Every structure is written in C-alpha cells, then in structure tokens.
Structure 1
Amino acid sequence: MKNKKKKYTQRVVIKVGTNVMTNKDNRIVRPVLIKLVAQIAQLYENDIMCVLVSSGSVIAGMEVLGKSHIKNKSQRRQVYSSIGQPRMMRLYYNIFHDFGMKCAQVLATKRDFNLGVHRENMINCYEGLISEGVIPIANEDDAVSLTKSMFSDNDELASLVAELINADKLIILTDIDGLYSGHPDDKDSRVIQNVSVEQNVEKYIQDSEKGEAEGRGGMSSKLSVAKDTASKNIPTFIANGKTENIILDIIEGKNVGTKVSI
C-alpha cells in the first residue's frame, strides 16, 4: 500500500487504552497492535483517515527499565514515559511499515491546544501529515507535561485532537464492551447502546470501572469526555478494543459499544 494524496470521506480519531494492548502480566501484546493497524489500513484504503491516540508508553518504559527507585510518582511517570515512547513508536513504525504505510508522532501538552501560535502549529502539522497520507499518532509530552499542562488522561487528549482536526467520529477503545446498565460481570447487565449528552447515565458506573492500569482514564472519564466531544457534534463511541474488527464494525454502523451523541 502506497501513501497517496487524496480526499478523505471521513476523519476518525481512535484512542486505544493501556488495558486494550496489555496482557494480565501488564506487558504490551504486539498482535493486538497488529489487528488495530490492520483495521486502520483497511479504512485508509476506503478513503477514511484515522488519527491514533495511543496509551502504553509508561508500560513500555516499565518493560525496559524494570523497577524504578524514584519515589516521586510524577517524576517516575516522566521517566517511564520518556523511555517507553521510542519503544512504542518503533512498534507502530514497524507494524505500519508491514502494511505499506507511514506513521508519525505528534507530542503535545494541554496548553498547546489553547488559542494561539502553538495551536496553529499543531493544526498545520496534522493537516500536513493527513495530506501526505501519514497516520498521526498523538501522545502527551510526558517529559515536560506536569500540573496545569497535563491532560487528565488520554481520553481528554483524544477529544481535543478530534476537535482540532474536525473529526467525524471519536472512538475510545477500552477493555469492556461499553457503558453497562449495572456491573459488567452481572448477567443481567446490558450495554447501553445509545446515550444522549443530556441523559443521566453516570449512576450506572461502578467503582471498579473508575480507573485503568496507569491510574487515569476510567469509565467516569470516558463518559464525561464522550459527552463533551459529542456536544461539539462529534459522535463518540466507547467500545471493547479486544473485540475482532471493532473499529470496522463501528464505522459500518453496527450496534456495538456505546454511542454518545447529541
């Protein structure tokens, strides 16, 4: 597959969480990333451009460095992420290359999305990459992103990117099938397939769903981000990234995951 200049019928931002790409031993699973990229490649062939917002750099850094002796949590996260980001990009670069595609990393802090020169520079970067058929991979610049310049999680980053590039959809991939009407393990619980931005469904979120492996980005965050993004006329989907062809199914309009819209 050759990268080519063309017009796209859709722009889709896909956020993949840490729990999607790791196993029970908290290690990156390459076959999961391959399946993810395979779907992005198929969409690209159908004139749908994807922007990927990927977690995993902290876990990848842990795999390389092992146990850290740094006691400060923020500094430890910076170190792990700084080590892990090149490893994650190498993984993605090689996988995209196997599909005949190119990818690029776009690092940002929260302040880069404020109105001004930084925001314009990011828009120019994304538009340039998209025009060349290169898949942007957005990441938080953890090495310099602390306190006020830090995103609450990658869900927030994905939402801001979706707004920045005027995306048609935002897909948030996690390790459960969507927002449930009760505890996900309860046999009587069902996935709530459609949620409006005005609908009060926060009561369904269970305590066990409120955090992920990296300590940020639980279901509360996902629903809040989804509603905020949908209010900007960008339909947002929360779905299980480990489900076969989940991205393709969402794009095809199948009833999978939870759709949040106006």
Structure 2
Amino acid sequence: MYKQRVVIKVGTNVMTNKDNRIVKPVLDHLVQQIAELYERNIMSVLVSSGSVIAGMEVMGESQITDKATRRQVYSAIGQPRMMRHYYNIFQDYGMKCAQVLATKRDFNPGNHRDNMINCYEGLLAEGVVPIANEDDAVSLTNSMFSDNDELASLVAELTKADKLIILTDTEGLFTGHPDDKDTEVIKNVSVDQNVEKYIKTIDKGEAEGRGGMGSKLNIAKQTASKNIPTYIANGKRKRVILDIVEGKSVGTKISV
C-alpha cells in the first residue's frame, strides 16, 4: 500500500528549449524523480503538456487557419509521440506508464467520473504511473479545460492526492517582475491571502500553450482549499519534486 499520492503537472515551457523543441533530458530527470518516489512508496500521477509541440515537431507549419482545429491536429499527432518518449524513459527505470485522456465533462458526477476513478485506482494499485492529458480531439467549448493546471487540479481531487506540484519555468510567485533584481519568491500563500497584485503578465512566446501565473495561482488556491497543498515551482531545477516532497522550501506553497 502506498503511503502518499502526488500529482505532478509539467508545463510546456519546462520541457522545451527556446526553439520549441522537446528536451528529452528534462523528461528523463522528471521520470527519475518519479521513480525515486516510487521506491519510497509514493505514487505519482503525471499531467503532462507537450503534445501540441510534439505534433508541431512532426508536422512543421500547418495550413489550418482555425486555431482550435490546428491545436486539435497538432495534439492528435503529438500525443503518441509524447507517450513514446515517456514509455521508453519509464521502461529504462523499470516502471510502466499509461495514458488517461479526459474532457472536462468527464469529471462531472456520473458514470464517466466513476469509470475514471476505477481506472486511476486500478493503475495506481498496480504501480503504473498514469499520464493524464486533455482529449483534444473531442474537447472544445464546454468540454475544454482552461489549461492543464485545471486538469491537474481535478485529477488531484479525483485521486485524493496528498500534494499537487505545478512545474513551470519560474521559481514560483514573485513579489514583482522575475527579472527585477529586488524581486523575491513568495514562499507561502494562504488561500484567503490577496497576492494577485503580484501577478505580472509576461509574453513568453508559449507557441500554442495555455495558462499563465494568474491561472496557476487561481487553480492552486482552489485545490489548496480542498486540503490538497499545492506548489508552484521551477521544473528545470534539479530534484525539485523530491525537495518538495521532503518538505524543503522550494517555490511557492499554497495551503489553507
């Protein structure tokens, strides 16, 4: 029986370089940490971005003008490519992974939600790491997540996780612009604390990605209010997941 469950969300900017290419060593370090948690009887659920970028790597420039359709096509092509990356890396560490696709409506009470719970519980009981992602091929309008942070939050609640870790390409929530020398990381935030004034909108050229710091903070507060401590941290930092699980002061912790 596993002692803890941790949901880990990794964003597109964590796993890509400045040319919007998937950086495999980043994925390897991510899986390495998940494998170490497994050895400690801590099971992980991975919510991974990257399918759109992976699809763009295969297709190159698309002639599709409609942004939503273009995203669907890129994601449909990129999903198996991302899973192949993960499958091979997990196999290197003697572990198994599985893909779990969902739309927002699947989390509504009913058979779909119950079936997802059964699937997650079955995979986790067998020591298989579920890799969750949005089913982009059919997920539009009302069935579409605002971003993968929202998906990660719903998965954390569904699996009764002990922690949600949102990995991005910054150290956490700052008191000002991350590039300013006097800026500091806010280590702890309570769900009723007004820190929205610190949010800065930065155009980082995230290709077809979604979700900025404002969205992350909002989702983190929602998740933390359900007694699931949530962390926003730099996914490119060495041992970031292990440090958080070990209780070290890394990134921004949002809790009740």
Q: TM-score, length-normalised on structure 2?
A: 0.99
Q: How far is the alpha carbon of 1:214 from its aligned partner?
A: 2.7
Partner Cα separation in structure 2 for residue 72 and residue 249 of structure 1:
42
Q: 2:251 aligns with which of 244, 252, 257?
A: 257
Contact 2:12/2:209 (8 A) holds in 1? no
| Structure-1 separation of matches of 2:81 and 2:122 | 24
Number of the residue aligned with 2:90: 96
Q: For 1:260 and 1:95, how far apart are their aligned partners in 2? A: 31
Q: Contact between 1:18 and 1:214, CA under 8 Å: does it hold in 2? A: no
User: What are the Cα deviations for residues 57-77 of structure 1, in whole angstroms up to 9, with x where unaligned?
Assistant: 000000001100000000000
Query: How many matched pairs?
Result: 256
CA distance in 1: counterparts of 2:208 and 2:187, whole angstroms: 27
Within 5 Å, give how 1:132-171 maps onto structure 2.
132-171=126-165
Name the CA distance, whole Å, in 2 between partners of 1:196 and 1:95. 36
Alignment partner, residue 24 of structure 2: 30
Which 5+ residue runs of structure 1 have no aligned equivalent?
1-6
What is the correspondence of 1:194-205 to structure 2 with a 5 Å cutoff? 194-205=188-199
Q: How far apart in 2 are the matches of 1:167 and 1:50? A: 9
Return closer, same or farther for 1:213/1:258 CA change in 2, 3 Å cut-off. Answer: farther
In structure 2, the CA distance between the partners of 1:261 and 1:213, relative to structure 1 (3 Å rule), is farther
Q: 3-state SS of the aligned residue for 2:164?
A: strand
**What's 2:107 paired with?**
113
What is the deviation of 1:215? 3.9
Q: Which of residues 222, 229, 233 is equivalent to 2:227?
A: 233
Structure 2 unaligned segments of length 5 or more: list them: none
Partner amino acid, structure 2, of 1:151: F
**Which 4+ stretches in 1 moved above 3 angstroms?**
209-213
Tell me the residue number matched to 2:66. 72
Change (3 A) 1:77 1:174: same
Superposed counterparts of 1:215-234, under 5 Å: 215-234=209-228
Partners of 2:100 and 2:151 lie apart in 1 by 12
- Backbone CA RMSD of aligned residues: 1.0
Structure 1 equivalent of residue 14 of structure 2: 20
Q: Is the 8 A contact 2:201 2:212 kept in 1?
A: no
Kept in 2, the 8 Å contact 1:212–1:218? The answer is no
Superposition deviation, residue 216 in structure 1: 1.1
Q: Does the aligned pair in 1 maintain the 2:7–2:161 contact within 8 Å? A: yes
Matched-pair contact (CA < 8 Å) for 2:227–2:255: yes
Q: Any idea what the Cα deviations from partners look like across 1:201-229, whole Å, max 9, x if unmatched?
A: 01101121798443411000000000000
User: How far, CA to CA, are the matches of 2:74 and 2:204 in structure 1?
Assistant: 23
Name the % identity.
79
Matches within 5 A, 1:160-199: 160-199=154-193
Report if the CA contact (8 A) 2:199-2:214 is conserved: yes
1:42 equivalenced with 2:36 (yes/no): yes
Matched, 1:61 2:55: yes
